[in-house]
Amino acid sequence: MKALVFNPRSINCSRAGGAEIYLHEILSRIKECGFLVISSSDRKSSYQHQSYTEDIVSGNEYLFPIFSAKYAKHIRNFDIIIENVSKFPIIWPPILSKLLSKPFIAIVYHIHGKTLFRELPSPVALILSIYEIFALKIYSLLGAFMITVSTSTERELLRLGFPKHRVSIISPGLSLELKSSGTVKSKKPLVAYIGRIKKYKRVDHLVNAMKIVRQSIPDTKCIVAGKGDKKVYKELRDLVEKLGLKTNITFEGEVTEDKKLDLMRKAWIYVITSMKEGFSISALEAQASGTPVIGYKIPGLVDCVKNGITGLLVSDGDYRALAEAIVHLLLHEDSRLKMSRNAVRHALSFSWDRSAENFMKIILQVASK
């Protein structure tokens, strides 16, 4: 079986994130299907794997819908068409697939909605939010089969008109080594955030919460790491200085995979303040590292973290409640250690091998119809 995969952002792209990791981890485990993945990347280096081949058609992900059109004439040569909707639906692949009677699958992680207004000027955000809903409505009318990563996103797709039998959930898995690394928890209380530094991630909420935490536990340290927006980084540094938290909060910038896992294992608590998540692979990795997660009750995170069991989830946007939850776990070692053990067991129930197996079952199911 041959599959053509539209993937706007390559795993090798400097801006690659959870959507690209998800696709790569799954496709690299499937041997029964030949995947040709067409992507964009600012690094312009094609990724070669025994399970799939990648063709970089554009150096700019925003131009990908145009440059990917060169494969329009080749769709008839493939058994199934897949679109990895990492940002916004392209629209023309499912339309052409329908015209050529080719089975089509779209992978949708989350619907951006209000997060667009956090990142973009209001007029642009309004246009893109309307486009996103309009495009997904078209996918629904075309009978596209949808794969998503969480119950939260499944509910959003059902509200948009997708019938339940055309939506399947395949959760992410774990790619980190869970063998003992010799890493021990920090001697002093350590809180960590390791992820994208974007406005919609609301890392400023963590900074504000840390001011409250310091009042109860003065020696608490916080590490913020990850690639992202330089302007947002500057705003965060300015906020830290304004609140007098320079001795408590450290910015690491982009870190290696090994460094990320080392920080997760050393941290007492992992914090996520995002407006929305598809699922949150980083929260899953933190739990696998034995670190309870504290965050908001937001779509995606409620599917990944078991509130009161592997972490604590508080009312969305309430950074004071966030601070109270952090203080509670830092001061109550028994609760924290119990959540740590629960977190590891919970995380181990997620497997990329099982995700890939379920993905292939859906490919065969859709292709047979």
State whether 125 and 69 are in the same domain.
Answer: yes
State whether 235 and 162 are in the same domain.
Answer: no
Q: Is the Cβ–Cβ distance between 220 and 210 less than 8 Å? A: yes
Q: Give the containing element (helix H, strand E) for 141.
A: helix 122-141
State whether 59 and 206 are in the same domain.
Answer: no
Query: Tokens 């692949």 correspond to what residue?
Result: 93
What are 109-159's pLDDT values in tens digits?
Answer: 999 989 999 989 999 999 999 999 999 999 999 999 999 999 999 999 999
State whether 262 and 335 are in the same domain.
Answer: yes
Residue 179: the pLDDT is 45
Q: Looking at the 3D structure of the chain, how many domains does it have? A: 2
State whether 131 and 169 are in the same domain.
Answer: yes
Please report whether residue 32 resides in a domain: yes
Residue ranges of the chain with per-residue pLDDT less than 50: 179-180
Among 46, 24, 14, 36, smallest CA distance to 175 is for: 24
Q: What is the dihedral sign for C-alpha 136, 138, 141, 143?
A: negative
State whether 363 and 305 are in the same domain.
Answer: no
Please report whether residue 287 resides in a domain: yes
State whether 259 and 131 are in the same domain.
Answer: no
For residue 129, the number of C-alpha atoms closer than 13 Å in the C-beta half-sphere is: 15
Residue 48: the pLDDT is 61
Residue 44: the pLDDT is 62
> Whole-angstrom Cα distance, residue 295 to residue 311?
8
State whether 196 and 332 are in the same domain.
Answer: yes
State whether 327 and 357 are in the same domain.
Answer: no
State whether 164 and 29 are in the same domain.
Answer: yes
State whether 126 and 267 are in the same domain.
Answer: no
Please report whether residue 185 resides in a domain: no
Please report whether residue 162 resides in a domain: yes
Among 251, 237, 216, smallest CA distance to 326 is for: 216
Residue 217: the pLDDT is 96
Please report whether residue 178 resides in a domain: no
| CATH number where 27 lies | 3.40.50.2000
The whole domain housing 285 covers 190-347
Residue 183: the pLDDT is 65
Please report whether residue 94 resides in a domain: yes
State whether 262 and 165 are in the same domain.
Answer: no
Please report whether residue 69 resides in a domain: yes
What are 189-228's pLDDT values in tens digits?
Answer: 999 999 999 999 999 999 999 999 999 999 999 999 998 8
